[in-house]
Amino acid sequence: MKRLLAEKPAGKGLVLPGMPAGSPGMEMPYDRVPPYVVELVGDDGNTEAFAQHGHQAFAQRGQ
């Protein structure tokens, strides 16, 4: 949310399809969070990746 408010990208909001395990409200009883992607909904209704979380943000995005 801090990034969304700071960057103010054009769009309608954020979505998290499928309520994946480990996401806010779907926490798991162990430390490892399965990977998931938060998507930005554009003004036209299309989505694009906005943020990645879990498994150390996809192992630092392949680094």
Q: Where are the domains of the chain?
A: 2-20+33-62
pTM comes to 0.67
Number of H helices, E strands in the chain: 2, 3
Enumerate residues 6+ apart whose C-beta is below 8 A from 45.
Answer: 12
What DSSP state is assigned to residue 5?
H
What is the full per-residue pLDDT of the chain (63 aa) written as tens digits?
A: 889 899 999 999 998 887 777 677 777 777 677 788 899 999 999 999 999 887 655 445 554
* Whole-number Cα distances in Å, 42 to 1, 5, 17, 48, 53: 16, 15, 15, 8, 20
